[in-house]
Amino acid sequence: MSYAMTEKRCRIQRQRICIFFYVIRKDFATLMHESSFLLHN
């Protein structure tokens, strides 16, 4: 029971970390795109 709970908690945390990194990567890509756009203009 506790093992299943721990596994579930780890899976939730891992998903949260993946979402966190995905959001950072998306924001970084947007920032790079905007900065390159500003540099070209």
Give the pLDDT score at 1.
Answer: 54
Give the pLDDT score at 38.
Answer: 74
Give the pLDDT score at 34.
Answer: 82
Q: Where are the domains of the chain?
A: 1-41
pLDDT one-digit tens code per residue, 1-41: 577 777 888 788 888 887 888 888 888 888 888 888 777 75
Give the pLDDT score at 10.
Answer: 75
Both tokens of residue 4? Answer: 């299943």
Give the pLDDT score at 5.
Answer: 78
Residue 35: how many other CB atoms lie within 10 Å: 10
d(CA 2, CA 12): 15
Both tokens of residue 1? Answer: 């029971």
User: What is the maximal distance between C-alpha atoms in the chain?
Assistant: 60
Which amino acid, 20?
Answer: F
Give the pLDDT score at 28.
Answer: 86
